[in-house]
């Protein structure tokens, strides 16, 4: 069958899928995305508002609802990193079919719990291997042995047709036509269907695929001229972490997409923040890839001033704990935020003086310092430099800190490795300081105590709260000096800081 025939087949199947998928879900809305720095008309397709908080219910249900009663009774087998499994579970319960879902062992618990919630007693989960590929191999082996029907997550006309109903909703929403549509790519099922349906409706629309930099299996297929396995797949965006795209999805994406761009995990985190700022919604990383792709093109000046843009928030199933990493990465904008290791002398007040000397417009989002045997010392500061101040900051850096080293992205910076040598401390006092998160508050405390003590440790990260917290190590000449000035340290409460609490560091001594 030719590619053109495949495209026609998929287009027809999408129209037929409309009679099935709405048995278990309702159409999801489009919302205009407000926000600073978005000069274009940007819309978001809210697939996070579907019955499983992701678009995968559409394809899973359409594929299972297309089976005969005999096939349903023989059972269903599937493999998934999470969202396809939830779609299978939802369909199994609705259609009265038993399903076994194979998932990688590291699958987030929020997705495992959701599968059990949607499927109840009709679904069992088998955790196999560390990757989707291993889980899929186990599922295919099960299907061959048991006679159950394997429902692929993307490489199937019926599955792709179900996903395509979201594009049909875009067309019938009345908000089009769109000039550009950005769509995340994992295995390529959604991208195939969206491009096929929308290009038949709006011939001039550009549909652009978006992949993670270290999981770009469709880009690899385009380059090789066929689907090929990747040696390594990054799983930060776990919903799109696919080692190899399907034969069908490759064929149709190659025919229908206008291009593919790659985004970094940091760009994805920044896109999650834009979703939150504009819509008060938090997508999972894969769910924000579409917007991340648009933002990359917008920064590069590739989007026309009058173009109307559609992005697809394709999922919001994420373990809450992952927000910590996302918020950190979202706060560091590679265009104007950098981490620097500065050089300061080993003498009282040198770190305070460095902070005083920083240009007023620069904000500190992270500070890491521990006294070591090295002389001079090397505190690491992550600085938020407003766009309009980058030039002036660069001049200041050249003039005042010629020995500063850019350590943005280095492992020690990312993992906040703060070395310090306890034996170099005479009489240390470690305190947790809570202060109003405003310019000058913590610095005021440091200036007040610097005549009394020297800083031997500093650990601070901007959290986005109204109050900030930092762990400070204060070193005194000896125990007598510590006792003499101890009360003065804690008397700072209510002046420049909210509270000062002692922290035991016996385990580090």
> Is the bond preceding residue 133 a cis peptide, omega within 30 degrees?
no
How many residues in the chain? 509
Q: How many CB atoms lie within 10 A of CB 310?
A: 28
Quick check: do 3-54+157-330 and 337-508 share a fold? no
Give the model's pLDDT for residue 383: 87
- Ordered by start, the domain boundaries in the chain are 3-54+157-330, 64-150, 337-508
Q: Are 198 and 172 in contact (CB under 8 A)?
A: no
Q: Residue 21: which H helix or E strand, with range?
A: helix 3-21
The SS3 call for residue 354 is helix
Q: Given a cut of 90, is residue 107 above it in pLDDT? A: no
**Cα dihedral sign for 59, 65, 71, 73?**
positive
DSSP state letters, 380-448: EEEEE--GGGHHHHHHHHHHH-TT-EE-TT-HHHHTT-----GGG-SEEEEEEEEEESSTTHHHHHHHH
Give the model's pLDDT for residue 286: 95
pLDDT in tens, 174-214: 998 999 999 999 999 999 999 999 999 999 999 999 999 99
Assigned fold of 3-54+157-330: Rossmann fold (3.40.50)
Give the model's pLDDT for residue 335: 43
Q: Given a cut of 90, is residue 428 above it in pLDDT? A: yes
pLDDT in tens, 280-324: 999 999 999 999 999 999 999 999 989 999 999 999 988 887 887
Look up residue 373 and give its DSSP letter: S
32-36, 318-322, 384-388, 453-457 — which one is most confidently predicted on average?
453-457
Give the model's pLDDT for residue 345: 85
H helix and E strand count, the chain: 18, 18
Which has the minimum average pLDDT: 32-36, 223-227, 301-305, 329-333?
A: 329-333
Residue 439, φ and ψ in degrees, nearest 5: -60, 130
- For residues 137 and 476, give the distance between their C-alpha atoms in angstroms, rounded to a whole number: 63
CATH class of the domain defined by 337-508: alpha beta
Give the model's pLDDT for residue 334: 42
Q: Residue 69: which H helix or E strand, with range?
A: helix 69-73
Mean pLDDT across the stretch 361-365? Answer: 83
Mean of the per-residue pLDDT values for the chain? Answer: 89
The SS3 call for residue 473 is strand
Q: Are 409 and 419 in contact (CB under 8 A)?
A: no
Q: Given a cut of 60, is residue 369 above it in pLDDT? A: yes
Give the model's pLDDT for residue 322: 83
CA distances in angstroms from 105 to 80, 129, 306, listed in the order given:
11, 6, 46
Give the model's pLDDT for residue 356: 87
Give the model's pLDDT for residue 122: 94
Q: Nearest to residue 296, comparing CAs of 270, 316, 332, 324?
A: 270
- For residues 415 and 115, give the distance between their C-alpha atoms in angstroms, rounded to a whole number: 33
Give the model's pLDDT for residue 486: 92
Looking at the chain, the whole-number percentage of residues with pLDDT higher than 90 is 59
* Architecture of the domain delimited by 64-150: 3-Layer(aba) Sandwich (3.40)
Q: Nearest to residue 153, comparing CAs of 272, 249, 72, 281?
A: 249
Q: Are 376 and 346 in contact (CB under 8 A)?
A: yes
pLDDT in tens, 230-260: 998 888 898 898 999 999 999 999 999 999 9
Q: Nearest to residue 45, comparing CAs of 310, 298, 318, 316?
A: 310
- pLDDT-derived band at 495 (thresholds 50, 70, 90) equals low
Q: Provide the angle, in degrees to the nearest 10, between the axes of the packed helices 247-256 and 189-201.
A: 30
Which has the minimum average pLDDT: 81-90, 315-324, 375-384, 385-394?
A: 385-394
Residue 110, φ and ψ in degrees, nearest 5: -60, -35
pLDDT in tens, 457-469: 999 988 777 788 8
């Amino acid at each position: 069958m030719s590619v053109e025939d495949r495209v026609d087949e998929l287009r027809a199947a999408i129209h037929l899928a409309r009679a099935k998928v709405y048995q278990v879900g309702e159409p999801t809305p489009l919302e205009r995305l407000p926000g600073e720095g978005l000069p274009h008309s940007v819309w978001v397709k809210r697939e996070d508002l579907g019955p499983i908080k992701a678009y995968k219910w559409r394809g899973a249900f359409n594929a299972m609802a297309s089976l005969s009663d005999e096939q349903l009774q023989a059972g269903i087998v599937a493999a998934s990193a999470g969202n396809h499994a939830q779609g299978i579970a939802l369909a199994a319960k609705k259609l009265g079919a038993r399903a076994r879902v194979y998932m990688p062992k590291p699958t987030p618990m929020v997705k495992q719990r959701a599968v059990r919630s949607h499927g109840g007693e009709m679904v069992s989960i088998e955790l196999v291997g560390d990757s989707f590929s291993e889980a899929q191999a186990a599922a295919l082996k099960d299907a061959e042995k048991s006679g159950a029907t394997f429902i692929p997550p993307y490489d199937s006309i019926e599955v792709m047709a179900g996903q395509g109903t979201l594009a049909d909703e875009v067309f019938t929403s009345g908000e089009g036509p769109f000039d550009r549509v950005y769509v995340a790519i994992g295995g390529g099922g959604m991208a195939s269907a969206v491009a096929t349906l929308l290009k038949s409706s709006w011939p001039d629309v550009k549909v652009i695929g978006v992949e993670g930099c270290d999981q770009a299996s469709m880009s690899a297929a385009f380059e090789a001229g066929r689907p090929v396995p990747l040696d390594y797949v990054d799983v930060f965006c776990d919903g799109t972490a696919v080692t190899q795209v399907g034969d069908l999805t490759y064929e149709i994406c190659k025919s229908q997409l206008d291009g593919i761009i790659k985004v970094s995990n940091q760009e994805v985190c920044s896109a999650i923040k834009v979703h939150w700022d504009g819509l008060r919604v938090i997508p999972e990383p894969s769910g924000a890839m579409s917007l991340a792709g648009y933002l990359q093109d917008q920064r590069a000046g590739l989007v026309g001033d009058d173009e109307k843009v559609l992005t697809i928030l394709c999922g919001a199933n994420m373990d809450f704990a992952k927000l910590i990493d996302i918020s950190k990465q979202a706060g560091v904008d590679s265009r104007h935020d950098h981490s620097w290791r500065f050089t300061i002398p080993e003498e009282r007040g040198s770190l305070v003086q460095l902070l005083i000397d920083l240009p007023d417009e620069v904000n500190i989002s992270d500070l890491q310092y521990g006294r070591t045997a090295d002389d001079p010392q090397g505190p690491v500061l992550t600085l938020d430099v407003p766009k309009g101040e980058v030039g002036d900051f660069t001049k200041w850096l050249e003039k005042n800190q010629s020995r500063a080293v850019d350590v943005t992205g280095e492992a020690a910076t990312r993992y906040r490795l703060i070395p310090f040598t306890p034996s170099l401390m005479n009489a240390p006092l470690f305190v947790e300081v809570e202060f109003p998160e405003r310019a000058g508050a913590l610095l005021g405390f440091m200036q007040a105590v610097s005549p009394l003590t020297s800083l031997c440790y500093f650990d601070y990260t901007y959290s986005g709260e109204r109050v900030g917290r930092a762990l400070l190590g204060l070193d005194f000449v000896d125990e007598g000096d510590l006792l003499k000035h101890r009360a003065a340290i804690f008397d700072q409460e209510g002046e420049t800081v909210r509270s000062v609490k002692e922290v035991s560091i016996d385990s580090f001594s």
